[in-house]
Structure 1
Amino acid sequence: MALGQKRNQPVVTGASKALDQLKYEVASELGISTPQDGYWGTMATRDTGAIGGHITRKLVALAEQQLAGRS
């Protein structure tokens, strides 16, 4: 995807760095070697999907914990 077509912007400014760090953390937890050049386009869809799925699970769990603490 060309840089001009990127539409997914984090709602919280500065969150993109934390999300990028989480991506690398999850990849290492799953035993998936991350690309040295930073380009994820050559990786298998199955691997990148697994990373995205685990990120989503972690973020949902974090949100549930925060919501449970409010009530």
Structure 2
Amino acid sequence: MPGGRNTNQPAVPGAKRALEQFKMEVANEIGLAGKIQTVGYENMTSRECGSIGGWMTKKMVQLAEQALAGRVQQ
């Protein structure tokens, strides 16, 4: 994004810190945490950043499915 301005806001107020932590956990799992710490997001490829977002989405969908399945079984 030109100028490095990210205008995305969490849907739930106060979730920003948890999402940042989750992002770093996912980056660590896929081997990109070190690169984030050395060069920062702004110097990573779109593919690398997209991989982090994709894995985050996959994990969040899994958590939602588990929550829904638990609600149905009760």
Give the TM bin, normalised by the shorter chain: 0.7 to 0.9
TM-score normalised according to structure 1 size: 0.81
Residue type of the alignment partner of 2:65: E
Q: Which runs of 5+ in 1 are unaligned?
A: none
For residue 14 of structure 1, give the secondary structure of its aligned residue in structure 2: coil
If the length of structure 2 is used for normalisation, what is the TM-score? 0.78
2-structure distance, mates of 1:19, 1:34: 19
Deviation track 1:17-46 (CA, whole Å, cap 9, x = no partner) reads 111001101111111124337841110111
Are residue 27 (structure 1) and residue 21 (structure 2) matched? no
CA RMSD of aligned residues (A): 2.0
Q: What aligned pairs does 1:1-71 form with structure 2 within 5 A after superposition?
A: 1=1, 3=5, 6=7, 8-32=8-32, 33-36=34-37, 39-71=40-72
Assess, with a 3 A threshold, how the Cα gap between structure 1 residues 37 and 14 changes in structure 2: closer, same or farther: farther
Structure 2: runs of 5+ lacking an equivalent: none
Q: Is the 8 A contact 1:27 1:51 kept in 2?
A: yes
**How many percent of aligned residue pairs carry the same amino acid?**
49
From the two aligned structures, give the one with the greater helix fraction: 2
